[in-house]
Amino acid sequence: MNPAYEKLVNCYESIREKIPMIPKVALVLGSGLGDYANDIKVVSTLPYQEIENFPVSTVPGHKGQFIFGYVDEVPVVCMQGRVHFYEGYPITDVVLPIRLMKLMGAKILFLTNASGGINLSFKAGDFMLLTDHISTFAPNPLIGENIDKLGTRFPDMSHVYDERLNGVIRDVARENAIDLKEGVYAQLTGPSFESPAEIRMLSKLGIDAVGMSTVVEAIAANHMGMRICAISCVCNLAAGLSKNPLTHEEVQEAANAAAPKFKKLLTESIKRFA
Ligand code: HPA
């Protein structure tokens, strides 16, 4: 058996023994957004360390556990802390949790992240709905023998971010007077932030916001036929666009400040993802 698939199946079996719940929506909480978990009616939590061979997140602000529960009436599984490529895990491990949540039953994947804004009309604290992405700067998680049980060798990427889900999110933002930008997100590997020259390059490529996650997860989820949506919290202006040096603390503070509106956007959207 393909080693990545074998590991996935082992993780799945170890979770299924503990958690009978079948989630509908899988939610990934980005930097500074982990306390959204407080808004979930929690049924059970499962620290990543308790899942055999599961990659454990080491980033400050990322707790490292699955939360199973309900947003309103909707059964969800939520990752409080994701796994990043820059932590040193193979790319198949980075997307393992996403594949796992699909095996658990989730049909919809709601990704969130913190990013640096490149589009000059963005400011810190803005939210950006992803309409598309650029994956060129991160390794493709589907490289290697294809796992036919999950999806096809050459998946189409024309409509990764589901137009119907995006429509719901737009409606919720409008009704709650939340300013929602839209654009193209690029994942770079990190962990260093980008240089000003790199940001000028990304800007010329039509990229609106940059971060260190999400795209590889979306590729793996799209491979499995999940419906995907993603919102980025623009936590800072990207390198060279403001005088301040970038710090992880600044990113976390901006995400914390934006959290109340972000929670509203998540909760109200998930309720309507019927
Ligand atoms: N660059 C990359 N990742 C980020 C940034 C950034 O400026 N801000 C938050 N995550």
Residues in the chain: 274
CA triple 79-12-189, angle to 5 deg = 45
Tell me if residue 10 is catalytic.
Answer: no
Beta partners for 27? Answer: 78, 110
* CA 103 to ligand 1 center in whole angstroms: 30
Dist. CA 218–CA 42, nearest whole Å: 25
**pTM (predicted TM-score):** 0.95
Strands 65-71 and 74-80: antiparallel
Dist. CA 35–CA 29, nearest whole Å: 9
Residue nearest to atom 2 of ligand 1 (CA): 211
What pLDDT score was predicted for residue 55?
Answer: 86
What pLDDT score was predicted for residue 79?
Answer: 94
- In short, whether 55's Cβ falls inside 6 Å of ligand 1 is no
Cis ω for the linkage preceding 141 (within 30 of 0):
no
Which H or E element spans position 57? Answer: none
Residue nearest to atom 3 of ligand 1 (CA): 211
> Which of 146, 198, 248, 253 is an active site residue?
248
What pLDDT score was predicted for residue 190?
Answer: 94
* CA 115 to ligand 1 center in whole angstroms: 4
Residue nearest to atom 7 of ligand 1 (CA): 116
Residues 6+ apart with CB under 8 A from 136: 186
What are the tens digits of pLDDT across the range 217-251?
Answer: 999 999 999 999 999 999 999 988 888 877 888 77
What are the tens digits of pLDDT across the range 179-202?
Answer: 999 999 999 999 999 999 999 999
> Which of 31, 115, 119, 135 is an active site residue?
31
> Which of 213, 222, 232, 269 is an active site residue?
213
Which domains, from first to last, does the chain contain?
3-273 (3.40.50.1580)
Structure tokens at 235: 């936590």
Give the pLDDT means over successive 10-residue stretches in the chain (274 positions).
92 90 95 81 93 78 85 95 93 97 97 96 94 97 96 98 98 96 98 96 98 98 98 91 82 81 94 90
Torsion over CA: 103, 105, 108, 110 (sign) = negative
- In short, whether 246's Cβ falls inside 6 Å of ligand 1 is yes
- In short, whether 193's Cβ falls inside 6 Å of ligand 1 is yes
What pLDDT score was predicted for residue 241?
Answer: 87
Strand segments (E) across the chain: 25-29, 41-47, 65-71, 74-80, 108-117, 126-134, 180-187, 209-211, 227-237
Beta partners for 226? Answer: none
Tell me if residue 213 is catalytic.
Answer: yes
What pLDDT score was predicted for residue 147?
Answer: 97
- In short, whether 115's Cβ falls inside 6 Å of ligand 1 is yes
Structure tokens at 152: 């096809």
> Which of 12, 26, 84, 135 is an active site residue?
84
* CB atoms near residue 242 (< 10 Å): 14
Tell me if residue 133 is catalytic.
Answer: no
Tell me if residue 248 is catalytic.
Answer: yes
